[in-house]
Amino acid sequence: SGIDVYNWVLPANTDKLTGFAGYDADTMEGNGQIGVKFSELAKTAGATAEKPYRVLEIWGARALPICQARHHGVGLGLAGDPAVEIVESVDTSGQPESVIKAIQDAFARYPDIKAIYPQFGDAGAITEGLRSVDRLAPAGDPNHVVVILQDIDKAMLAPLRDGTFDFTVSNNPWHQIDVVVKQFLWHTVLKQPLGDGDANSGTVKLPRRVLLPMPLLTGATIDTDAAHMWGGTVAFTDMPLGKWNYWPVLDTKEIGLPVPTLADRKSLLGY
């Protein structure tokens, strides 16, 4: 039809998109990191197949591709480790009341659960769920439950920084939309071709497909330069209200997407 179409967040099952920026959880570099971490924790705890390291996975919805990808990505990292047992909740749709009930039901059946991984963020529900079963405690406390969050939200920042939560794997919409808008400006407005290849190699000019990194972050690393990809805060919800009228433009030159300038527009469009 000649209409440019850009997508973000999750890869679509088509090669017809004009541009894409998002992530793929179903990889070792994505949610595989979560599975690897659970295996490491199980080994440290001395877990075995007979006495496994139990993890509660709180499902969003089994019918959603995003949840399927996140679940399968964790499995990639676990690689069939017999020392880790995943206890799967019913679908919660990410609703706080359902998440809290899933935690309560799981701990009633398995009081020795050592870790929680929610497919959706909602750190507030995780906090209240653990509090309701008397397991909200910082690292080092005998009641501590390891929490690995998928999405970054404002409610998770304080507990991650103080050690009540342990890890998060994500990137956020600010980074994704920043990239997609630049693809739109370079291609649709300035009529420049978008290139194929691995954008993170730094060798593709104006990449058409960008899979953003999904760093595994802790309270000790969430505020570092490495976590603030391309100069943006790792949690866009952490931006102080009223500090900016508009979100700052990120410096994405390293992936071949510089900010288009007025000089570029004049040169490329001939005026």
Together in a domain, 176 and 252:
yes
Cα 74–chain centre separation:
12
Confidence grade of residue 184 (pLDDT, cut at 50, 70, 90): very high
Q: Which of 114, 138, 169 marks a domain boundary?
A: 169
Helical H segments across the chain, by residue range:
32-45, 65-78, 96-109, 123-132, 154-162, 173-184, 262-269
Last residue of some domain: 149, 169, 189?
A: 169
Note whether residue 1 is domain-resident: no
User: Would you say residue 236 has pLDDT above 80?
Assistant: no
Residue 235 in this model has a pLDDT that exceeds 80: no
Residue 108 lies in a domain: yes
Which of 105, 135, 169 is the endpoint of a domain? 169
Give the number of domains in the chain: 2
For residue 146, the enclosing domain spans: 32-169
Dihedral sign from CA coordinates of 95, 101, 104, 110: negative
pLDDT (0 to 100) of residue 1: 58
pTM of the complete model = 0.92
Q: What is the DSSP letter of 203?
A: -
Q: Which distant-in-sequence residues (6+ apart) come within 8 Å of 122 by Cβ? A: 94, 96, 99, 151, 153, 155
pLDDT class for 206, splitting at 50, 70, 90?
Answer: very high
pLDDT tens-place string over residues 64-117: 999 999 999 999 999 999 999 999 999 999 999 999 999 999 999 999 999 999
Same domain, 153 and 227: no
Question: CA 121, 78, 158: angle at the middle one, nearest 5?
Answer: 30
Within this chain, do residues 228 and 203 fall inside the same structural domain, yes or no? Answer: yes
Place 225 in a pLDDT band, splitting at 50, 70 and 90.
confident
| One domain for residues 157 and 209 | no
